[in-house]
Amino acid sequence: MKYKLTRGLLSVIFISCLFTYSGCVDECELDSEPTVFIYFSTQKYYRSVYGLHGKEKPDNQSADYQYSVPLSIKDDSTIVIFESDVRNDTLTIHYSRTVEMQSARCGFRIYFDDFEIVKPTTFTQASVSSTLDYSQELYVNINE
Amino acid sequence: MNKRSLTFSCILFVLVSVTHAQTYDTRRLYFGVDVLRTFPLTFSRGFVFEPSLIYKTKDHTIIDLAVGFNDIRKDELYSNVAYANTGRYYRLGVGKFLLKSRKKFNEFNLQACLIYSDFKETGTITFEGDNYGDLVEVRTQRNKLFIVELQPNYWLPISDRISVNFQVRINYIVTNPDEKDFPVYYVPGVGNVQAWGNRDGIPNSRRVTEGISIRLVYKFLEL
């Protein structure tokens, strides 16, 4: 009886530890460029969707409802270019950045805020979430 | 009585209450150079140079004047900060022989010092951006601090002219440092002032620090 109780207790402790560590997000890993996910209300075909002045320029993308692009940490805005065979679209996201110390372990971190869609933007029905979520992701919805 | 005057009073009390030593026949002048401070124990690269002039009276009172210069770097102070510290400091100390009789190997002294440290700290913060490029921000803060130091030390004679001076240093930073951008990490003339622990919180600097030092001393004049 006593042996079973000890075994049960140890199992509970082990499982708790497993859940605790598997659910952890290393806060220090959040220093890289955040990602903006752009959702369309209808399926769109763009050959290439990329950030202006960025290194990554994916080609031959398939038609989709969703595209993703990294957000610039260097500037206060990121211009997203949507290239297709018939036309090019542009989306500009503006934001503020503040560099503040987070902790001795993580050092400094960039805090983003005040996201808004500004000109030049060719979409008329675009909206952006006001802040990044916990995993450094931003969401844009386009209803056209 | 505030903290500052209490510290001064304590140091003065210790000095005054020290027993009078046996006298020398002559007054002596020494030149010293610190050899331990320049070792990169709390920094990655750079130098600390601290020459000093020491005067000993016949009744074995010590007057110790030091000037220090430093230019040090620490490549990774926190996870994304490269740290640099450039400055200078001046130290004036008064000391007394601790024991009743002076023999060859029993030269224990107690010194009280006042240090003025003027330094600039620069933190270069780098965020890596794989797609658009890195964000680099430079933060600079300057401090001019007064520090009081209590320094028990021991002189080990190597020859008639050369001695090694082992020092234990207990410092109290009297002036409030300006830490608007990041906590003060290194105070020239004192050393590392980063608080122990608290790795997951915003670190703060310590007001009371302790350390050891070794100085090579050369007697160049007897009066």
The ipTM (two decimal places) reads 0.76
Q: How many domains does chain A have?
A: 1
Closest Cβ–Cβ partner in A32, A72, A75 for B128:
A32
Give pLDDT < 50 ranges for chain A: 17-24
Chain B CB contacts of A97 under 8 Å are 135
What pLDDT is recorded for position A103? 85
The verdict on residue A88 lying in a domain is yes
The verdict on residue A125 lying in a domain is yes
Chain A CB contacts of B132 under 8 Å are 33, 51, 53-55, 70, 72-75, 78
Confidence of residue B3 (pLDDT cuts 50, 70, 90): low
Nearest C-alpha of chain B: how many angstroms from A48? 16
Q: Is residue B11's pLDDT more than 70?
A: no
Residue-range domains of chain B with CATH: 3-74+86-120+142-222 (2.40.160)
The verdict on residue A5 lying in a domain is no
**Residue A106 to residue B79, Cβ atoms within 8 A:** yes
CA torsion A28→A33→A38→A43, rounded to 10°?
A: -110
Confidence of residue B19 (pLDDT cuts 50, 70, 90): very low
What pLDDT is recorded for position A10? 60
What pLDDT is recorded for position A3? 60
Search chain A and give the residue with CA nearest B127: A31
The larger pLDDT score, comparing residue B103 to residue B30, is at: B30
What pLDDT is recorded for position B220? 92
Q: ∠ CA(B163), CA(B167), CA(B171), 5° rounding?
A: 150
What pLDDT is recorded for position A20? 47
In angstroms, the Cα distances linking B175 to B146, B202, B210 are 6, 21, 17
The string of pLDDT tens digits covering residues B40-76 is 777 888 999 999 999 999 888 999 999 999 999 999 8
**DSSP one-letter code for B159:** S
Structural domain for A104, as ranges: 31-142
**Residue B78 to residue A107, Cβ atoms within 8 A:** yes
Search chain A and give the residue with CA nearest B81: A107
